[in-house]
Structure 1
Amino acid sequence: MQQNRTSHLGLIFILGLLSMLMPLAIDMYLPSMPVIAAQFGVESGSVQMTLSAYMLGFAFGQLFYGPMSDSIGRKPVILWGTLIFAIAGCACAMAQSIDQLIGLRFLHGLAAAAASVVINALMRDMFTKDEFSRMMS
């Protein structure tokens, strides 16, 4: 089912945008950590736990999104993962306590893992080994 690269340009562009979810959710978040600590009246170590929770959720999510996308399909997994990612991001913005934020950041990371895992699987499905290497670079 290998097709010409040009027939997949739109999908490649969308997958490229989705692959930026995980790094953006960290890089845009880091500068706000002192403000978050002040807002919740906690020490910086507590706010750093939100980053650890995100990474833990991301790591845990990778364990089951691959098998899930193999069994129910790539599209539902990436769509639901992206939807949950967006909802969790909005919920993080409305968190009332640092504990809530830590839990929501775990969910945020869990959802971000869907895009990471499924993008690699989709690219492997669409391209040969050499084309895959070229596309990922």
Structure 2
Amino acid sequence: VRGRHHRPTVAGPERIRELLEVEINTFEDEWRQSAKIWESAGGYSPTIGILGAVMGLIHVMENLSDPTKLGAGIAVAFVATIYGVGLANLVYLPIAGKLKYYIGRMVSTREMLIDGLVGIAVGDNPRIIEARLKGYLH
């Protein structure tokens, strides 16, 4: 946050808040796009696994006359399904969740900084600023 560069004499407290909130919104929008990509991967992954399962079962149907090849086709079907569901639930969706958590923490921290900077710019009592900022800590 570049708030320390905006002096009260150069820009009023509300102007400082406005400038820094634009920064926060831009940051949040960019990072939320990253989280959406991981969520999308988590949504598509099981579908791709099902496609692999269907392909494996098609292979089984092609080789019904040769029982020795049935096991391989069924195995492909199960493995594809496991990979699709596993990647979604063990990799993609947890990454999306962690990104969302990180984004929330960063936005909260930046909002806290803005409140502190605006309080200083307005000339609030340091105890009042401290009490206001403690509200951000959980």
TM-score (norm 1): 0.38
Q: TM-score, normalised by structure 2?
A: 0.37
